[in-house]
């Protein structure tokens, strides 16, 4: 009997170990390989997908974890902690114009049931649908009308997180998943564009999103290779005074990276910021007064002139690009800059290369920037 008991215990122990091994194998998933994006990771399991967003302001911390579960399947018994999202999303309230444009490119515009900050959404179709009552204007993005959002019964809310925002107030209390669109915190243009793949998973068009990103990636590198052959490398100044300060893109920002990829020299290329840097006018003049090209964004119903620029700030005429009339303006009111460039950096790169290296042939016409006239 003693030997029988020992044999029984050995078999039982072996069976228990085997059960643990099986359970361990069941918890293993397939990691989705991202080529450039560093702020997001995705692992696919049997019956669900886990997407984890890094906190871009606190290293080693998680901003949000999502558990994507097909809407036609039951919720598995054992899933990790996180916000459950039933996919594909059918209705969503969008707080940003760029993600509205993205859904239209996915041919998922009918999924937009509501928008915030309508005045900043320059997409004619969205404006028309709101006017017809087919899309609900939920008000200001910082203080939306909660009742309107609840009435829409969306599957998710899409908004951009900010450092030290203090949360999302009442939006967190209405039991609607909040998708934090932290794509803008990526440090390279292609890394941000690659978030298309994550958004495609949410709306049931993953293959389409993957194909779109592959096309963007390929075209971007073709343009970069073309620019690398240019014999000149002009220095570039970005944007202009806002209020009492001048916000210039940091050296690790997507714009800073694109200037480099377009074979241009950026005065703040060695800076470590991935966002904008606020500087006094005098500092910008001292460091970038002799730059060859000046690119800036503005908002108007007409093309800006040098006289208007001088009317905004009398010091602009001290810059070499002003004196030699090599300034280019991007009117964000009349061009799709904010709608397109985040997920189509190749289009903006084309503009940069065409401006920096006019001798290069085969480029598309300028899409966002226009040369400033007198």
Same domain, 186 and 305: no
181 within 8 A of 169, measured Cβ to Cβ:
no
Q: What is the pLDDT of residues 25-66, one digit of tens each?
A: 346 899 999 999 999 999 999 999 999 999 988 999 999 999
- What strand order describes the sheet that includes 245-249? 241-242, 245-249, 276-279
Average pLDDT for 144-149: 97
Same domain, 160 and 244: no
Asked if residue 320 has pLDDT above 60, the reply is: yes
> Where does a domain end: 185, 215, 245?
215
SS3 content of the chain, % helix, strand, coil (to 5): 40, 20, 40
**Stretch among 108-112, 173-177, 183-187 having the lowest mean pLDDT:** 183-187
CA-to-CA distance for 5 and 283, rounded, in angstroms?
84
β-bridge pairing 276-279 and 241-242: unpaired
β-bridge pairing 245-249 and 241-242: antiparallel
Same domain, 201 and 282: no
* Residue 21 lies inside a defined structural domain of this protein: no
* Residue 238 lies inside a defined structural domain of this protein: yes
* Residue 222 lies inside a defined structural domain of this protein: no
* Residue 105 lies inside a defined structural domain of this protein: yes
Per-residue confidence (pLDDT) for residue 27, from 0 to 100: 62
Same domain, 89 and 148: yes
* Residue 223 lies inside a defined structural domain of this protein: no
Same domain, 58 and 202: yes
- What strand order describes the sheet that includes 236-238? 236-238, 293-298, 327-331, 369-371
Distances in whole angstroms, Cα of residue 56 to Cα of each of 8, 27, 71, 98: 54, 27, 30, 20
CA-to-CA distance for 163 and 185, rounded, in angstroms?
11
Q: What is the pLDDT of residues 205-260, one digit of tens each?
A: 999 999 999 999 999 999 999 999 999 999 999 999 999 999 999 998 999 999 99
The domain total for the chain is 2
Per-residue confidence (pLDDT) for residue 165, from 0 to 100: 74
> Where does a domain end: 165, 188, 215?
215
CA-to-CA distance for 163 and 148, rounded, in angstroms?
27
* Residue 225 lies inside a defined structural domain of this protein: no
Q: What is the pLDDT of residues 1-19, one digit of tens each?
A: 444 444 333 333 333 333 3
Structural domain of residue 54, as residue ranges? 30-215
* Residue 7 lies inside a defined structural domain of this protein: no
E strand residue ranges, the chain: 30-32, 40-45, 48-54, 62-70, 83-87, 92-94, 112-115, 136-137, 156-159, 178-180, 236-238, 241-242, 245-249, 276-279, 293-298, 327-331, 369-371
**pLDDT band, very low/low/confident/very high, at 316 (cuts 50, 70, 90):** very high
Same domain, 182 and 242: no
Same domain, 113 and 154: yes
Peptide bond into 368 cis (omega under 30): no
Same domain, 206 and 299: no
CA angle 120, 304, 313 (to 5 degrees): 95
Same domain, 48 and 94: yes
Per-residue confidence (pLDDT) for residue 164, from 0 to 100: 77
Same domain, 63 and 198: yes
């Amino acid at each position: 009997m003693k030997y029988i008991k020992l044999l029984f215990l050995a078999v039982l122990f072996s069976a228990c170990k085997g059960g643990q091994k099986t359970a361990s194998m069941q918890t293993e998933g397939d990691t989705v390989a991202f080529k450039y994006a560093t702020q997001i990771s995705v692992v696919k399991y049997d019956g669900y997908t886990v997407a984890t967003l890094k906190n871009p302001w606190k290293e080693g911390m998680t901003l949000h974890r999502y558990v994507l579960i097909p809407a036609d399947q039951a919720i598995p018994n054992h899933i990790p902690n996180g916000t459950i999202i039933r996919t594909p999303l059918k209705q969503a309230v969008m707080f940003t114009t760029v993600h509205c444009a993205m859904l239209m490119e996915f041919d998922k515009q009918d999924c937009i049931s509501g928008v915030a900050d309508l005045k900043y959404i320059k997409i004619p179709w969205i404006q028309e649908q709101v006017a017809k009552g087919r899309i609900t204007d939920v008000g200001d993005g910082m203080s939306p009308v909660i009742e309107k959002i609840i009435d829409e019964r969306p599957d998710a809310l899409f908004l951009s997180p900010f450092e030290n925002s203090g949360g999302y107030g009442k939006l967190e209390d209405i039991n609607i998943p909040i998708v934090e669109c932290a794509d803008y915190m990526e440090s390279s243009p292609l890394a941000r564009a690659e978030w298309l793949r994550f958004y495609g998973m949410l709306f049931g068009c993953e293959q389409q999103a993957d194909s779109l990103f592959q096309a963007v990636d390929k075209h971007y590198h073709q343009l970069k290779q073309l620019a690398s052959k240019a014999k000149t490398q002009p220095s570039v100044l970005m944007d202009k005074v806002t209020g009492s300060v001048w916000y210039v893109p940091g050296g690790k920002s997507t714009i800073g990276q694109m200037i480099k990829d377009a074979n241009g020299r950026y005065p703040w290329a060695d800076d470590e910021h991935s966002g904008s840097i606020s500087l006094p006018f005098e500092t910008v003049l001292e460091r970038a007064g002799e730059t060859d090209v000046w690119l800036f964004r503005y908002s108007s119903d007409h093309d800006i002139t040098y006289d208007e620029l001088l009317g905004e700030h009398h010091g602009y005429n001290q810059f070499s690009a002003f004196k030699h009339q090599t300034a280019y303006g991007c009117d964000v009111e009349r061009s799709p800059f904010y709608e397109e460039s985040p997920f189509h950096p190749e289009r903006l790169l084309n503009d940069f290369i065409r401006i920096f290296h006019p001798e290069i042939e085969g480029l598309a016409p300028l899409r966002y920037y226009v040369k400033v006239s007198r």
